[in-house]
């Protein structure tokens, strides 16, 4: 079968989602890469540029950009840097789908710029929806562009919905593996070290999201992400712990039917589905074997041990700028934990404290979101220095 070629751009091309997106490109010759952006790993980016030949490439610092320009002087590739570079890539004329595989709220402005330029978004960067969903979703509707979920749970929900309107959803069943510390008590978590938290039972991902999976903060962010993507109230989003990670999530419809998407844990499927939607394309890889599995099990999440999930629901209920505080406090706390400057249980503790002192701003602008992020970072750093 012949397919039309499709040009994509990737922000965060050297990361876990970025490199898996490039694997999908390798096995689908009709996908072309128009633009790539990475943080600081110039070596890897250079190799990607040589293989995929984009028209433009971005790195974060001007110093890295200078280095990259020298390395690829033999190629006709424009090199840009900083936020300005990310915005230029987002609005680049010759591509259709932007893959947002960058970590954190740095994704907000490029995502908005791409939507304004009429691009579809294959969205992995959940922090953007969590903090600016009230800006992104209406803007996408006005611009007539699609926000295609890459996060595996949201892709599963999207696949289960398959075009049915939000009005037919009774409940979203958002599955969670429970992470490496499922079944543990709070006391048992006190001595957890970064090495322990970086071991995920089923998925291989970037460092920050792996720690977030162990605290269930990731699931909390995903509840907020689902709320924005599918236009469903919080009380209709239920987290279900499912340790085998075979059911990637499900939708319960108004007639009681539950439709789920199952598969082996492999991010390439949701990435490919987002890039070709509404088509479904062939893909290799391991298949789920029901007989080998034997059984699938389910549990309720434990909100006392994993306070991050409880705090996420609270942040989502309060809305406005509170999800930004939740996300920023977590981001900074996780970074401090990975540097061994705070203990594991201080992650939710610090998030709770940052939320308590915050005065909610309703419908925050992008500037107010970024200012709230900055203030929250400062507050967390101050707290840690004082103690």
Residues that bind Mg ion (CB under 5 A): 151-153
Bond from prior residue into 378 cis (ω within 30 degrees of 0): no
Closest separation between CB of residue 124 and Mg ion, Å? 9
Closest separation between CB of residue 103 and ligand NAD, Å? 5
Nearer to ligand NAD, 17 or 189 (CB): 17
Phi, psi of 18 (to 5 degrees): -60, -50
Phi, psi of 380 (to 5 degrees): -65, -45
Q: Which does residue 122 touch among ligand NAD, Mg ion, none (CB within 5 to 8 A, set by kind)?
A: none
Nearer to ligand NAD, 203 or 377 (CB): 203
In this structure, what token pair is assigned to residue 281? 């394309």
Q: Which does residue 60 touch among ligand NAD, Mg ion, none (CB within 5 to 8 A, set by kind)?
A: ligand NAD
- What b/e sequence results for 321-353 when a residue is b if at least 16 CB atoms lie within 10 Å of its CB, and e otherwise? bbbbbbbbbbbbbbbbbeeeebebbbbbbbbbb
Nearer to ligand NAD, 13 or 376 (CB): 13
Answer yes or no: are the C-beta atoms of 151 and 236 closer than 8 Å: no
Nearer to Mg ion, 143 or 202 (CB): 202
Closest CA to 307 of 361, 344, 340: 344
Give the span between the Cα atoms of 6 and 24, in whole angstroms: 13
Q: Which does residue 125 touch among Mg ion, ligand NAD, none (CB within 5 to 8 A, set by kind)?
A: ligand NAD
Q: Which does residue 9 touch among Mg ion, ligand NAD, none (CB within 5 to 8 A, set by kind)?
A: none
**Residues of the shown chain interacting with ligand NAD in the complex, contacts defined by CB under 6 A:** 12-18, 37-39, 41, 60, 101-103, 106, 124-127, 151, 203, 205-206, 209, 267
Q: Which does residue 106 touch among Mg ion, ligand NAD, none (CB within 5 to 8 A, set by kind)?
A: ligand NAD
Closest separation between CB of residue 255 and ligand NAD, Å? 30
Residue nearest to Mg ion (CB): 151
Closest separation between CB of residue 178 and ligand NAD, Å? 16
Q: Which does residue 281 touch among ligand NAD, Mg ion, none (CB within 5 to 8 A, set by kind)?
A: none
Closest separation between CB of residue 298 and ligand NAD, Å? 21
Go through the chain and tell me how many residues it has: 387
Residue 20 has a CB neighbour count (10 Å cut-off) of 22
Nearer to ligand NAD, 129 or 355 (CB): 129
Closest separation between CB of residue 153 and Mg ion, Å? 5
Q: Which does residue 149 touch among Mg ion, ligand NAD, none (CB within 5 to 8 A, set by kind)?
A: none
Instruction: Supply angle C-alpha 287, 292, 294, rounded to 5.
Output: 120
State the number of CA atoms in the 13 A half-sphere of 159 facing the CB.
Answer: 24
DSSP, residue by residue, 121-175: EEE--HHHHHHHHHHHHHHHHHHT--EEE-SHHHHHHHHHHTT--GGGEEEEEEE
Nearer to Mg ion, 111 or 218 (CB): 218
Give the span between the Cα atoms of 336 and 331, in whole angstroms: 9
- Give the list of residues 6+ apart from residue 67 with CB closer than 8 angstroms, or none: 42
Closest separation between CB of residue 99 and ligand NAD, Å? 10
Closest separation between CB of residue 87 and ligand NAD, Å? 11
Q: Which does residue 18 touch among ligand NAD, Mg ion, none (CB within 5 to 8 A, set by kind)?
A: ligand NAD
With H, G, I as helix, E, B as strand and everything else as coil, classify residue 246.
Answer: coil
Nearer to Mg ion, 153 or 346 (CB): 153
Nearer to Mg ion, 301 or 352 (CB): 301
């Amino acid at each position: 079968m012949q397919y039309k070629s499709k040009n994509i751009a990737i922000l965060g091309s050297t990361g876990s989602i970025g490199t898996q997106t490039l694997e999908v490109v390798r096995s689908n010759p009709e996908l072309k890469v128009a633009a790539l952006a990475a943080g600081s790993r110039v070596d890897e980016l250079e190799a990607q540029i040589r293989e995929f030949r984009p028209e433009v490439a971005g790195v974060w610092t001007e110093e890295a950009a200078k280095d990259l320009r020298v390395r690829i002087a033999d190629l006709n590739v424009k090199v840009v840097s900083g936020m300005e570079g990310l915005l230029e890539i987002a609005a680049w004329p010759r591509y259709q789908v932007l893959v947002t595989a960058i970590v954190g709220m740095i994704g907000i402005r490029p995502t908005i710029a791409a939507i304004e330029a009429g691009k579809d978004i294959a969205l992995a960067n959940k922090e953007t929806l969590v903090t600016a969903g009230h800006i992104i979703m209406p803007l996408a509707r006005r611009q007539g562009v699609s926000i295609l979920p890459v996060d595996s749970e949201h892709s599963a929900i999207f696949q289960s919905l398959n075009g049915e309107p939000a009005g037919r959803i009774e409940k979203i069943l958002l599955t969670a593996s429970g992470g490496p510390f499922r079944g543990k008590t709070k006391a048992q978590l006190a001595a957890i070290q970064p090495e322990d938290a970086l071991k995920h039972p089923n998925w291989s991902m970037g460092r920050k999201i792996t720690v977030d999976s162990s605290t269930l903060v990731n699931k909390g962010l995903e509840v907020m992400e689902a709320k924005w993507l599918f236009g469903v109230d919080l009380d209709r989003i239920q987290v279900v712990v499912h340790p085998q990670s075979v059911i990637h999530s499900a939708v319960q419809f108004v007639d009681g039917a539950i439709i789920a998407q199952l598969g082996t844990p492999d991010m390439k499927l949701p990435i490919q589905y987002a890039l070709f939607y509404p088509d479904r394309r062939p893909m290799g890889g391991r298949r789920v074997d029901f007989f080998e599995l034997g059984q699938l099990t389910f549990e309720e999440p434990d909100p006392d041990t994993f306070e991050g999930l409880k705090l996420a629901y609270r942040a989502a209920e309060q809305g406005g700028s509170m999800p930004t505080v939740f996300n920023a406090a977590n981001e900074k706390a996780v970074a401090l934990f990975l540097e061994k400057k705070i203990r594991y249980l201080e992650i939710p503790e610090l998030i709770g404290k940052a939320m308590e002192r915050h005065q909610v701003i309703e419908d925050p602008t992008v500037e107010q979101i970024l200012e709230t992020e900055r203030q929250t970072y400062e507050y967390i750093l101050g707290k840690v220095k004082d103690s």
